[in-house]
Amino acid sequence: MLLPVDFPYPAFALLIAANGIGSGMFAAPNSSSIMGSVPARQRGAASGMRSTFQNSGTAVSIGVFFSVMIAGLASSLPKTLASGLQHQGVPSTVAHQIGSLPPVSSLFAAVLGVNPLGHLLAAHGVLAALPATAQATITGREFFPDLISGPFQNGLVVVFALATGLTVVAALASALRGGRYVPPPDPAKEPEPGQRPDSGQQRETLAKPV
């Protein structure tokens, strides 16, 4: 959230490394606690349920965070996009029409590395009427990414703020889970009075032919 739009790679690599270390430090003990809280004969089902909930949560979180990201884009992208196009000589009516398009289209165009402004202006018959320098700027590789970088950062700040809040809730839930749970012994496997544990099993093993 504190990085600028044009951030240096070492800072980004440091944050990614911290994220990986933190995820490992959180996931390993909590997974161990889940698996240790059930009897041994039920750990297969417990592992399956844990994986199911983890995968389901991952799929749901992608939809939630993309929705929040698009909501953050929608708050500032139309005005920024229209203002940038007008600065290059695009008529106000056409600029506002392009700026009012769904923000999800601009988001996925940026992800795919596509500049849709040339096609949109050509469809309105405006691109050919612009000066050659304006056409080259609008259809270039830097104008569209630079134009949406500010609104994109605003959407990321909203997403990261939500993620930080959920992380704090998860950390509190993990801290309140208590100590290590030891399941009660299985009555079917308890030794009879006066018999050493596993002595019958040892005699049976020794009696088997080699």
Beta strands in 12-111 (DSSP E): none
Determine the pLDDT at residue 207: 44
Beta strands in 147-207 (DSSP E): none
pLDDT in tens, 162-180: 888 988 898 888 778 766 6
Q: Which amino acid is at 209?
A: P
Structure tokens at 113: 């590395």
pLDDT in tens, 74-97: 888 889 989 999 999 999 999 999
Question: How far, in Å, CA of 180 to CA of 36, rounded?
Answer: 8
pLDDT higher than 80, residue 210? no
The arithmetic mean of pLDDT across residues 106-114, rounded, is 83
Determine the pLDDT at residue 202: 46
Determine the pLDDT at residue 206: 41
3 state DSSP class of 67: helix
How many of the other CB atoms lie within 10 Å of CB of 36?
14
Counting Cβ atoms within 10 Å, is residue 98 exposed (0-12), middle (13-18) or buried (19+)? buried
Question: How far, in Å, CA of 31 to CA of 35, rounded?
Answer: 6
The single residue listed with the structure tokens 């398009």 is 101
Q: Describe the crossing of helices 92-99 and 43-87 by its angle, rounded to 10 degrees.
A: 180
Determine the pLDDT at residue 52: 92
Mean pLDDT of the chain: 81
Question: How far, in Å, CA of 135 to CA of 143, rounded?
Answer: 11
Q: Which amino acid is at 38?
A: V
Rounded to whole angstroms, the maximal C-alpha distance in the chain is: 100
pLDDT higher than 60, residue 157? yes
Min mean pLDDT across 26-35, 86-95, 141-150 is at 26-35
pLDDT higher than 80, residue 129? yes
186 confidence band (pLDDT: 50, 70, 90): low
Determine the pLDDT at residue 56: 92
- Domain residue extents for the chain: 59-179
How many of the other CB atoms lie within 10 Å of CB of 103?
24
Min mean pLDDT across 47-61, 150-164, 165-179 is at 165-179
Predicted TM-score (pTM) of the model is 0.62
The arithmetic mean of pLDDT across residues 113-124, rounded, is 87
Residues in the chain: 210
**Closest-CA residue to 110 (of 156, 68, 79, 64):** 156
The arithmetic mean of pLDDT across residues 13-21, rounded, is 88
Contact by Cβ (8 Å): 97, 124: yes
Question: How far, in Å, CA of 150 to CA of 26, rounded?
Answer: 33
Q: How many CA atoms lie within 13 A of 54 on its CB side?
A: 10
